[in-house]
A and B are shown apart, each in its own frame.
Chain A
């Protein structure tokens, strides 16, 4: 029976091997011996390590044996055995550990898997290549994502800058966004006091993470920045410090940063044109930090955007100042203009008054001689061009000297006033003009009026004066004040002047007086020439 089993074991299509806990080989079947090129009993009492390549030895010690010891068996384990000829043969092994007379023995079956392990090698290679490709793709995606996020952040900040001219709003938003994006512990915007030679300044905006102090309330005196860093920052360079404690620092700086505290920082200058305006500071308070290239680049870009905002705000501020000044100047100008307008009005009133004074007869309040002359000349020229008729009435008060002597000058003046106003009322053509010609003489210009029209006006005047019924007891022709009136009428011609028209009317007046006063007489230019000297 034992023989049969041994035979079966030796001829079975798999290797068989038993070994003790200390690695001593107890038994090997013929199949395995043959595979490894050993003679019968050649491996007995040998250590199992002697048929293991070094890699397999390590695996045996670190994996195979501990597993056997812990679980009592292992299944489907792969390692290689080394043949007598030094060739490594990949094997698949199942093993069971059992007790045999107080000692432990491990029985293994081993199957050669040369072909299979080759395939597996290929598969693992392909898998690794695929993993590498996936990793590369993932990294590319992450890089792209970061790029995208950065672009979005920049865009956001830029948008805010365009939307707002209020620096404090922009700063607040920018510090907050940068801090969250970079996962930094403090982001602050530091402004140098103008004219402090970069020795004094303050944090004008700040965003801090949990457990980080606000520093914005402190004014910062930095007597060394002026000397040390002004040129450095003015050139647009950044300060990148991963670990404050590991760099050579001015003593004052160390104290300054310890007070905040700062462990790592990233500082970018904020320039207003060529001038150093302030600093964009990103701090890590609790631990050092290795700033990545992308982060530094981003901070630089944001600093540039903030610089634009500062510049814009500066220009805006200047413009506003100018605008206010201009508005003030305009207001002053408006006041002056108003005053001037008032003066102009007064002037117009005065001018008007003056014109009145110039053209109005003070006593009778009708046009005076000067006004009459101007108007007559004007109408004469006009009607000459139009070749239309013009009439002129000239009258004086009958026995007015006597009236004055009888009733006194005051009554005389009153009488003239009344006459003038009355005549004014009955002469109503829009272009007609009643004027005091002098003394008790009055003249009426009637443009575009023929002889008939003129006569009818004369009739109306006589009637109106009659109707006034002003007593005149020293008159020879009536009990009341009357007038004598001369009428002239012609169409202006080149050979005559307005003076000739007056002369003709005067001749008519003269005739009216000669014929007994209180009447009108026409002097016809053709019938009785004005040049008739004896007339």
Chain B
């Protein structure tokens, strides 16, 4: 070991192995999928209640010109549920950090971040925390705050509405299974059961799903908006019960360098219900020169 070259080589190998290990860990943790022929990365972040599969109606339109990166948040889809920690994911920052970790680990820059619903806010928070990773933000059905703060702010919901949602989720996720409650609670020991649940919902764990719902709908990031500096496109659907048009306008007013586009599409998931319109709007925005 006296040979400095060998020593350096060994240290490099160890370093490399460690990096590979780390990368593998993150890839597994967030069930990362990458494809596409472009150089610039388009990172698609799913919203609450879903997983990366929701993007399959729009990604084919971008894979020729971009490198597509799909992932599942911890607790959703096929992510590594063992990586879940109620402390880390007790607010949106844990999810923000996951996105930043992915960018850092895969050495991504100039990323076009496409976020649906709550992921829009996660994207905005990422851009505030580490603006260098991101080039543009595409925000689909975003809302900085879901709960009404009348008369100053209309978010669309009262707390009791969210409680009703949590109740519905609870009964859907674990309702009938309540008769086998202990088994559901320890679904790591009974993967067949969680597989069953996963097939019907895009979440691995009902408890985590409920927590994610709370984190999503009780978050209030209105005060963060002015800090953002990365250009963004707000896609506002018609008749979106989750993110009403008022919210889209509010966001556009308070988010620097934002562009608001009102869609013909109705509902909350235009990328699923109206993929063509969604694709066109994104392409149009991306082809336009940067505006301030």
Contacts and interface: CB of A to CB of B under 8 A. Distances in A.
Interface residues of A, number: 35
A59 B168 contact: yes
B164 A54 contact: yes
Main secondary structure of the interface of A (DSSP, over half): helix
Contact of B49 (A56, A63, A131): A63
B269 A61 contact: yes
A55 B167 contact: yes
Contacts of A322: none
A123 interface: yes
A49 B170 CA distance: 21
Interface stretch (A74-82, A378-386, A428-436, A486-494): A74-82
B168 A65 contact: no
Contacts of A80: 168
Contacts of B48: 62
A66 B266 contact: no
A72 to B, nearest CB: 13
A53 B241 CA distance: 11
Interface in A118-142: 120-121, 123-124, 127, 130-131
Given A22-B267, A66-B50, A70-B54, A58 B172 contact: no
B85 interface: no
A149 interface: no
Given A58-B242, A66-B49, A78 B171 contact: yes
A160 interface: no
Contacts of B161: 54-55, 58
B266 to A, nearest CB: 5
A454 B149 CA distance: 149
Nearest to A22: B266
A77 B172 contact: yes
B195 to A, nearest CB: 15
Interface string A471-502: 00000000000000000000000000000000
A74 B200 contact: yes
A53 B164 CA distance: 9
A98 interface: no
Nearest to B240: A61
**Residue of B164, B176, B266, B273 most packed against chain A (CB within 10 A):** B164
A120 B178 contact: yes
Size bracket of the B interface: 35 or more
Contacts of A69: 54, 57, 269, 272-273
A76 B165 CA distance: 17
Contacts of B162: 55, 58
Interface in A97-118: 117
A23 B242 CA distance: 14
A58 B268 CA distance: 9
A418 interface: no
B96 interface: no
A123 B174 CA distance: 10
**Residue of A67, A76, A131 most packed against chain B (CB within 10 A):** A67
B171 A117 contact: yes
A21 interface: yes
Given A62-B50, A62-B117, A67 B201 contact: yes
Interface in A265-289: none
Contacts of A79: 168, 172
Contacts of A311: none
A47 interface: yes
A124 to B, nearest CB: 6
B168 A66 contact: no
B17 interface: no
B200 A66 contact: no
B262 interface: no
A57 interface: yes
Contacts of B57: 69
B66 interface: no
A61 B267 contact: yes
B164 A55 contact: yes
B241 A49 contact: yes
A124 B268 contact: no
A78 B50 contact: no
A117 B185 CA distance: 20
B37 interface: no
Contacts of B168: 55-56, 59, 78-80
Interface string A3-22: 00000000000000000011
A127 B171 CA distance: 12
Contacts of B154: none
Given A61-B267, A66-B54, A67-B200, A78 B175 contact: yes
A330 to B, nearest CB: 57
Nearest to B176: A76
A375 B37 CA distance: 140
Contacts of B273: 21-22, 65, 69
B272 A65 contact: yes
B169 interface: yes
Interface string B252-292: 00000000000000111100110000000000000000000
Interface in B210-254: 217, 239-242
A63 B172 contact: yes
Nearest to A128: B170
Interface in A33-59: 47, 49, 53-59
B47 interface: yes
B62 interface: no
A61 B201 CA distance: 13
Contacts of A21: 273
Contacts of B109: none
**Residue of B48, B49, B54 most packed against chain A (CB within 10 A):** B49
24 contacts: A22-B273, A23-B239, A47-B239, A54-B157, A55-B162, A56-B164, A57-B241, A58-B161, A58-B242, A59-B172, A61-B242, A61-B269, A65-B267, A66-B54, A67-B201, A67-B202, A69-B54, A70-B53, A78-B175, A79-B172, A117-B171, A120-B176, A124-B171, A130-B181
Interface of A: 21-23, 47, 49, 53-59, 61-63, 65-67, 69-70, 74-80, 117, 120-121, 123-124, 127, 130-131
Closest 10 CB pairs of A and B: A55-B164, A62-B49, A61-B268, A54-B161, A55-B165, A123-B178, A69-B272, A57-B241, A58-B165, A63-B49
